[in-house]
Each structure stands twice: as structure tokens, then as C-alpha cells.
């Protein structure tokens, strides 16, 4: 089925990269967990300040509501690429900033695949 999602006359993206970090909080003991209970708010704040400190132009780091990948740790998605990551530490954030935001490369070990239902050994810390 043809869609109108990407057209040659679309305006240029407003940001070079737009990062959405889930900061959704569920009650303690919820079976799906929540990103906020895994430090996503603090890690998003760290990412936001680090991007600013590094002077990376045209990159926006935002909080988002639930991204519906709760069982897979903290979740983020970066557009316009639409790459999804799991992350658990400032080290993970630093790696995403360095590879993806600064150089356009992917951090393969942290990518969340569409079909993924649990974290791999490389993704757990």
C-alpha cells in the first residue's frame, strides 16, 4: 500500500535529531514496570545537559510518555531515523551521544528490535 509518509516536497526536519526518552511512571509493583522507576528521568536530564554541554546543534532531547516497551528497560527513540534504544546508565547515554548523535552511527548492542521481547546479555548491566 502506497503512503504519503515521505514526499520530496516535505519540509526539512526542524531538528537534525529529535530524541524522545520515556519518563512514564507506573505504580510500584506494576507487572510491566516503568521507565521512570529505572531512572529514565535522571538519565534524560543527564542526556539533555550533556548535549547542551557538548554544543551539539539542532538536537532536541525531550521527555515522552509511555513508548510501550516497558519490559525492556528505559526506552528512547531518535528521529528522523526512528531508531529505538534501551539504556541503563550514563555510560550508555554517552555512547549513544558519541555514536548516533555526533557521528550518525548506531549503537548496535543497545538497539531495540521490533520483534524483541526481552533484553539480550549485551543490553543488561
N-to-C CA span, the chain: 41
Alpha helices per DSSP H over the chain: 40-53, 90-96, 103
Task: For residue 71, count other CB atoms closer than 10 A to its CB.
Answer: 13
Please tell me the total count of domains within the chain. Answer: 1
- 3-state secondary structure (DSSP) of residue 77: strand
Residue 66 included in any domain: yes
2 pLDDT tier (thresholds 50, 70, 90):
low
For the segment 20-42, what is each residue's pLDDT rounded down to a tens digit? 999 999 988 888 888 999 999 99
Residue 118 included in any domain: no
Residue 9 included in any domain: no
Task: Retrieve residue 87's grid coordinates.
Answer: 539504556
Residue 85 included in any domain: yes
Residue 41 included in any domain: yes
* Exposure on the CB side of residue 7, measured as CA atoms within 13 A: 7
Residue 1 included in any domain: no
Its domain, for residue 23, covers 17-113
Q: Taking the model in full, what pTM does it have?
A: 0.89
For the segment 61-117, what is each residue's pLDDT rounded down to a tens digit? 999 999 999 888 899 999 999 999 999 999 999 999 999 999 999 999 999 998 888
Task: Retrieve residue 67's grid coordinates.
Answer: 513508548
Amino acid at each position: 500500500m502506497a503512503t504519503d509518509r515521505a514526499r520530496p516536497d516535505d519540509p526539512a526536519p526542524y531538528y537534525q535529531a529529535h530524541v524522545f526518552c520515556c519518563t512514564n511512571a507506573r505504580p510500584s509493583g506494576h507487572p510491566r514496570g516503568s521507565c521512570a522507576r529505572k531512572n529514565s528521568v535522571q538519565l534524560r536530564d543527564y542526556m539533555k545537559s550533556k548535549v547542551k554541554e557538548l554544543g551539539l546543534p539542532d538536537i532536541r532531547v525531550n521527555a515522552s510518555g509511555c513508548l510501550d516497551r516497558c519490559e525492556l528497560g528505559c526506552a528512547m527513540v531518535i528521529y528522523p531515523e526512528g531508531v529505538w534504544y534501551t539504556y541503563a546508565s550514563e555510560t550508555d547515554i554517552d555512547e549513544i551521544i558519541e555514536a548516533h548523535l555526533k557521528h550518525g552511527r548506531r549503537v548496535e548492542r543497545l538497539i531495540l528490535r521490533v520483534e524483541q521481547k526481552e533484553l539480550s546479555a549485551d543490553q543488561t548491566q
